[in-house]
Structure 1
Amino acid sequence: MAAHSQIRDGDETTAEAGVIRRTPGGWSVQGKEVPDLVNAMVLADILGAEEQGAAPAPPAPPRASDDATEVERLRITVAQLEHALQTRVVVEQAIGVLAERHRLAPREAFERLRSAARSRGRKVAELSRDVVSSCTNPLTPLPGELAGAGSAAEAGNGRS
């Protein structure tokens, strides 16, 4: 769960933002059911991120040098895989936001996200962080084709 959470009795986590408990039907967050562990973990990460503010994306891990030992290469590979997973999670969250916001199929939401990123010379993961942030901060500027009702849209096609 989030770094600031504490696990008690093996089935309850307390965060400053609320309580996450295991229930017979899945997970409960302050009385609201969450269907599975993955959703509960993502929700805990989102709650933790909201408390900490929008953190900049961690830099991509370096590539292994030609003279690196096998252990060094494996450590770098693990760091690269962890970075790729974190990036994937943010992109999937943004796809979900756009699919709900614009009533799109997930594939169409991804295509819209990718197109907006390409046309502005931005990385998909970078724009995805903005889309996810726009859920809790309507002042986060988004390209017009991604902004929903009540969201701030970028002025022009340049980077914000």
Structure 2
Amino acid sequence: MDAEVVRRTPHGWRVGGGQRCDDAPDLISAMVLADLLTSEAGGPRPRAQAPGRAPEGASEVDRLKHTIAQLEHALHSRVVVEQAIGVLAERHTMPPREAFERLRSSARSRGRKVADLAGDVVESSTSPLTVLPDELGEV
């Protein structure tokens, strides 16, 4: 019997290679369970909240620290959006600009922030259990 190759895809586990073996569904179930347990062991990853405005009467140093926190948050959000654009462009074989437009349109139609939906898209590239809107999901 040829060796089985098990690989993880954005849409779940796939078994490829030679002949299918009877143990493949059990193997896939075990791998999915291992992924779930691993993600649970790390605990939930809350999304960072935007810092908002500096408090009234804050010193100049405190205002500058607050500005730095705002800029760091904006940079992180930008990175996540760019990663999501890459995931969508590859997943749907489309130009990055079209991937961004699809992401933005989906976020608007659901009343969500683009950065939050982008986080879901990025997460979906490693977790087949992450549910995405139909227009962003499978091809």
Q: TM-score, normalised by structure 1?
A: 0.58
Per-residue Cα deviation, 1:57-110 (whole angstroms, up to 9, x for no partner): 111113113311110110000000000011111111000000000011111100
Q: Gaps spanning 5+ residues in structure 1: where?
A: 1-49, 150-160
CA distance in 2, matches of 1:147, 1:65: 41
Counterpart mapping for 1:78-157 below 5 A: 78-149=68-139
Aligned positions, number? 100
Q: TM-score, normalised by structure 2?
A: 0.67
Greater relative contact order, per chain length (Cα 8 Å cut-off, separation 6+): 2
More helix per residue: 1 or 2?
A: 2
- Partner letter of residue 127 of structure 1? L
Aligned to 1:61: 51
- Shift of the 92–146 alpha-carbon distance from structure 1 to 2, 3 Å rule, reads same
Pair 1:74-2:60 in alignment: no
* Two-structure CA RMSD over aligned residues (Å): 1.7
- Partner letter of residue 134 of structure 1? S
Per-residue Cα deviation, 1:126-152 (whole angstroms, up to 9, x for no partner): 111110111111121101110025xxx
Aligned to 2:26: none
CA distance in 2, matches of 1:110, 1:120: 15
- Shift of the 113–123 alpha-carbon distance from structure 1 to 2, 3 Å rule, reads same
In terms of Rg, which structure is larger? 2
Write out the 4+ residue segments of structure 1 that deviate beyond 2 Å after TM superposition. 50-54
How much does 1:55 deviate? Answer: 1.2
